[in-house]
Structure 1
Amino acid sequence: MLYMVTNTLPLSAANHNASSSPTIMLPIYHISKFLETNYTNNEPFSLARLGRDETTQATRYPNTTLLKSTGEYVVEIGLGSEGLIAHLLFDTGSTFMWWQCLPSSSCYNQEDTFYDSELSGTYQEVNCFDEVCNIELPFIDGCLDEEEVCNYKIQYSNNRRSIGIMANDKVSNEDGSWSEYVYFGCGRNNTGDAFHGTYSGVLAFAFDPYSFPFQVGATRFSFCLDSIENDGSALYLHKIPTFQNDDVAFVVPLLHSSTRPQAYYLGLKGITIAGKKVPISANKWKINSAGQYGVMIDSGTLITRYTICWIHAMR
């Protein structure tokens, strides 16, 4: 179980009181639950994960708008006035959430029922002159031609992209006991081979004002990333669940770097292999004053990675 505590920057659409906010619990599943392929052998599954990750790792956090769109966990959430159940890719590296919308010009096939903006009674498009649209962020595309709606564009690696309009609508849990209005990308043009039907969009969890935790005013969130074999776990916002003595879980605070403020880091102190501590300087595990080093944690990166120097030290 991982948790973090942050200072939130909720958008002007909502007034939040974190101390009185109820706990939000959303189901989170390993993506293999929705795949036809049953990975009973760990080796081919690991190779498949590594292959997907290797092709786009270089563009995860550079100074560019290119992002990855891979991941292993999806969150179940209700969309719109009807609470349409959707599965969104859980990504701590994404800053803006989006999902596929009808009517559309180009969408990839998905297993979930398509969200139709015309059928949601709580759907509202963001006006081009709204303050939400007039912020200089990579994904905000502003007004195009004579349109009066705000556009967004997220360019992923390998020519994958999501293009559409910024909108506001209600999201909820399965039984409707919790709901909140959020800004999101209504994806009308979503292309790329990496998008597949196991999820209908991306639930952004980066440290950013447009991410999901910030928009619902959550000063903390916790999640348990379950194994492939299990049926799923839970994602909590606002409050952290209490563990029993026999629970196999531990709580780890997440850190931030000045050079990559949207990313999360883990306060790792070292690695032990077969009872022996790997001879790596403790300073290399920490984020220094220049924002270098440290250990980044990212739900969209499929394989744990080390620098070549660390790998040599482990051999």
Structure 2
Amino acid sequence: MASYYLTICVLFLLPLHFSLIHGNTEEGFTINLIRKTSLQPSFPQGFSAMSTIPQSPVSAYLGEYLMELSIGTPPFKIYAIADTGSDLMWTQCVPCNDCYKQINPMFDPTKSSSYTNVPCSSNLCHLLDTGVCSPQKECNYTYAYGDGSMTQGVLAQETVTFTSTTGASVPLKGIVFGCGHNDSKNGFNDHEMGLIGLGGGPASLISQMGSSFGGKMFSQCLVPFHTDERVSSKMSFGRGSKVSGSGVVSTPLVTKEDKTPYFVTLLGISVGNKYLPYSGGSSQNVAKGNVFLDSGTPPTILPTEFYDRVVAEVKNQVPMKPVVDDPSLGTQLCYRTKNNLGGPVLTAHFEGADVKLEPIQTFIPPKDGVFCLGFTNTSSDVGIYGNFVQSNYLIGFDLEAKMVSFKARDCTKNT
């Protein structure tokens, strides 16, 4: 979920100061991404809108993956979108008079002994370029996302507690987060209590963790969204999250002025054996960092000209007639079938890494008996590699080596 407000004052505290309360976490930790329900994701028209390492529970719900953690003292459990495309961690807070409905109770900062507002005089108030001073001398923020949703509230510091897959608690003090008091009624559903920004900017949870777990790195293994709800995804943090071994392919992270997105270079996509270059010309002319990986955006979003070529070739290779008589599907490329399509296999050709994508990763069922290509288009030259195609891969983000690594894996297995 890409943010509009991502110009960060990088001169301040990188990483931010926080402390581990207890525990031996040199290797990191791993958590599950908790699944709430097996409901199908909603599709806007054209899609546009295991070990002792630290881990986090993450679940799939309506096309998003929810991370479980606790904030405050005593710990208060929240379920929030795991988002590598933005930085700010936030949750809805009492009082929340202009917020979207959520089924779980909201966090009440007056009931936490470890909650402190970030004062206007603190450098932390400048972590986001939207930080402004309120009449009460508190640091207010506004943070908006690419789909038009947004959150407004107060920047604060809290104790954040993860529960690893071994059952151990991993508490961190002094984490900066947003206490949301005015949040979009459109863009979030009632299971989502906020969002966990996992991008590369200074305000993100990853940057605040820094190298405290043996290395500034994390990995994820996302289950396909139509997996049984009892099966969780996994996210790991620290040195133990490094992706290695047989079958690993890696591509360089591309550094840009915007530090939040994880930019990589996509040279082209093959549909079966048909190679389609990203730019329509030679792959040698492709701009560096032309896509970024975003766990908070379900579809893969490509520049219109490239998208049109990919769709045309998929149509050419699927021996079925596309659905054309269902207005609810918009302009999506869809087919009616009881089971997922048998092909074609798509291959994303990143710089130095070829990533094969099976139909379970590329064709998504918005409703029974219909499968749609999980891609859409944009007028921008920069695309987004969404979470549908990230599933069933162990993907490692190594911010120190500046590499992203992929290893094909059945993420429904506890390995």
Do residues 308 (structure 1) and 301 (structure 2) align? no
Q: May I ask how many residue pairs the two structures share in their alignment?
A: 271
Do residues 186 (structure 1) and 184 (structure 2) align? no
Q: CA deviation at 1:312?
A: 4.6
Consecutive unaligned residues of structure 1, counting only runs of 5 or more, are: 1-7, 40-44, 56-69, 288-292
- Give the counterpart letter for 1:152 in structure 2: Y
Show the 5 A alignment for 1:210-249.
Answer: 210-218=203-211, 219-228=216-225, 229-230=227-228, 231-241=231-241
Q: CA deviation at 1:204?
A: 0.4
- Give the counterpart letter for 1:150 in structure 2: C
What is the rounded CA distance, in whole Å, between the counterparts of 2:268 and 2:91 in structure 1?
A: 39
Match of 1:208 among 201, 208, 218: 201
- Give the counterpart letter for 2:223 in structure 1: D
TM-score, with length taken from structure 2: 0.58
Q: CA deviation at 1:239?
A: 2.2
Determine which structure has the larger strand proportion and give its number.
2
Show the 5 A alignment for 1:1-315.
Answer: 9-14=14-19, 21-29=26-34, 33-35=35-37, 38-39=39-40, 45=41, 48-51=42-45, 53-55=47-49, 72-133=64-125, 135=126, 137-141=128-132, 143-145=133-135, 147-156=136-145, 160-174=149-163, 175=167, 177-181=169-173, 182-218=175-211, 219-228=216-225, 229-230=227-228, 231-241=231-241, 250=248, 252-253=250-251, 255-279=253-277, 280=280, 281-287=282-288, 294-314=290-310, 315=313
**Residue pair 1:103, 1:117 contacting (<8 A) in 2 also:** no
- Give the counterpart letter for 1:111 in structure 2: I
Residues 1:73 and 1:251: Cα distance change in structure 2 (over 3 Å): farther
Residues 1:132 and 1:81: Cα distance change in structure 2 (over 3 Å): same
- Select between 106-115 and 156-165 the one with higher mean Cα deviation: 156-165
The higher radius of gyration belongs to 2
Q: CA deviation at 1:251?
A: 5.5
Q: CA deviation at 1:82?
A: 2.2
Q: CA deviation at 1:283?
A: 2.9
TM-score, with length taken from structure 1: 0.74
Q: CA deviation at 1:54?
A: 1.4
Post-superposition Cα deviations, 1:115-168, rounded to whole Å, max 9, x if no partner, equal 1111112111112212212x2733312x122x1221112234676432211111
Cα RMSD, aligned residues only: 3.1
Residue 178 of structure 2: SS of its match in structure 1?
strand
Residue 169 of structure 2: SS of its match in structure 1?
coil
Q: Show the counterpart of 1:4.
A: none
Consecutive unaligned residues of structure 2, counting only runs of 5 or more, are: 1-12, 50-61, 314-415
What is the rounded CA distance, in whole Å, between the counterparts of 1:28 and 1:102 in structure 2?
A: 25
What is the rounded CA distance, in whole Å, between the counterparts of 2:147 and 2:47 in structure 1?
A: 12
